[in-house]
Amino acid sequence: MKKQLLAAAIAAAVAVPMTASAGDVTLYGVVMMSINDLDNEVNAGNPGGSANWDNGVDGLSVQSHFTRFGIKGTEDLGNGLSAFFQIEFHLADAENGGNLNNNRNTFVGLAGNWGKVGIGNNDGPYKKSTASLELFSVVQGDANQLGFEDVRLSDSVFYYSPNWNGFSFGAAITMPSVDANEDGVEGYSLAATYKNGPWFAALAVEDFDDGLTDHAATLGRSEDKWRLGLGYTANGFHVGYIYEDRDNIAGVDGADEDSWQLSGSYTFGNNVAKIAYGEENDIGGVGGVDSDMWSIGLDHKLSKRTKLYGVYADYSHDTAGNDWDSWGVGIVHKF
């Protein structure tokens, strides 16, 4: 049944450009697979809280990294107004044949010279604010392994402003039908970014109401948090810094922690060399329990859409038996 659903979805996506002559519709996707080797002292669960690149078991494994596909498009409505949409599917466990689900970004909206507004399931402005600074996203060294928390907002309404001389901002509210407060709004996500020449800066805040919410306690998410991102890119060099402070974790008063990661890269020819180091302090709001992680990597571009990569990361935790290190080599193809 799942394979039939996948086949039908692909067939429908391919057929769309032939039937949607009034608009611009694109089939897109990412296939990302790797071979990893993990030395995990815990030998149970997922290292650093990440299920993106390994299964938590010592030794060699083949893993998929959010292999996905979708369709997106726009329609010109005239007078400077346009409609836009996106429907994306995740092929979970793709290395074993895959299980299709649609918990990815799926939304519809309107855009004009005033910005764009949409409704649906979408990455929050908070998550998007520092995405360009996360050099090891979904592989070993991912900032999420240091406690950084990125949330996709379901049942949300979002707005993104135009770019004003490098400055822009985004805002979103989420309104799930469970555990919402009296005004029906469960949480919000706000971010402001500035990009001018080689400089980049971002400041974001995210807050969820109540202790029993889809985005808070049930997923181990922070109740409220703020994030700062800084970047500089010039002459092939890139330096990025992300800091995050989380308060009242899972709705527990006084359970606070913070994380930071400093990263850098150098582009030469078709190659990008990367390095990062970061720390997580007072893990889970417990004072004195810390961790740190460093990682190195190399990307080699075979074309605009295909690249090979290699990565190594080492994670140390104050609690005995929670350390791990891992290397991986993989291929990424975008279409």
Q: What percent of the chain has pLDDT over 90?
A: 57
Question: What local confidence, expressed as pLDDT, does residue 211 receive?
Answer: 41
pLDDT of residue 22: 53
Neighbours of 327 (CB within 10 A): 18
**Would you state the pLDDT for residue 54?**
67
What does the pLDDT look like over 257-315, one tens digit per residue? 899 999 999 999 999 999 999 999 988 777 778 899 999 999 999 999 999 999 999 99
Predicted TM-score (pTM) of the model is 0.86
Q: Where are the beta strands (DSSP E) in the chain?
A: 24-40, 59-64, 68-78, 81-92, 99-101, 106-112, 115-123, 152-160, 167-174, 187-196, 199-208, 222-234, 237-249, 257-268, 271-281, 291-301, 306-317, 324-334
Query: Under a CB-based contact definition with an 8 Å cutoff, are residues 117 and 158 in contact?
Result: yes
Question: In Å, how far are 149, 187, 248, 307 from 254, measured between CA atoms?
Answer: 18, 20, 6, 44
Q: Among candidates 173, 181, 141, which has minimal Cα distance to 50?
A: 141
pLDDT digits (tens, 9 = 90+) for 209-267: 754 344 443 444 546 899 999 999 999 999 999 999 988 776 677 778 899 999 999 99
Q: CATH says 2-334 is which class? A: mainly beta
Q: How confident is the model at residue 84 (pLDDT cuts 50, 70, 90)?
A: very high
- Residue 316 predicted with pLDDT over 70: yes
| Weakest-pLDDT range from 9-13, 115-119, 229-233 | 9-13
Task: Tell me how crowded residue 43 is: count the other CB atoms within 10 A of its CB.
Answer: 13
Q: Residue 34: what pLDDT?
A: 93
Given a cut of 70, is residue 50 above it in pLDDT? no
Helix (H, G, I), strand (E, B) or coil at 285: helix
Q: Give the Å distances, CA to CA, from 300 to 99, 214, 283, 291.
A: 30, 39, 35, 30
Angle formed at CA 319 by CA 315 and CA 320, multiple of 5 degrees: 90
CA distances, 108 to each of 73, 100, 188, 202 (Å): 10, 21, 19, 26
Give me the pLDDT at residue 256, please.
Answer: 84
* pLDDT in the model for residue 85: 97
Strand partners, 193: 168, 202
CA angle in degrees (0–180, nearest 5) for 42-264-289: 35
Which residue do the tokens 């889809």 mark? 214
Residue pair 64/33 in contact (Cβ under 8 Å)? The answer is yes
- The overall average pLDDT reported for the chain is 84
Looking at per-residue pLDDT, the higher value among 110 and 59 belongs to 110
> pLDDT tens, 124-183?
999 999 999 999 999 999 998 898 988 889 889 999 999 999 999 999 998 865 554 455
Which residue in the block uniquely carries the two structure tokens 């329990």? 289
* CB-neighbour burial class of residue 229 (10 A; exposed 0-12, middle 13-18, buried 19+): buried
What is the average per-residue pLDDT within 195-217?
76
Measure the CA–CA gap between 208 and 223, rounded to whole angstroms.
5
The rounded distance, in Å, linking the Cα atoms of 255 and 141 is: 25
Q: Which residue in 136, 147, 143, 95 sits closest to 327, CA to CA?
A: 136
Average pLDDT over residues 34-59: 67
| Whether 123 contacts 293, CB under 8 Å | no
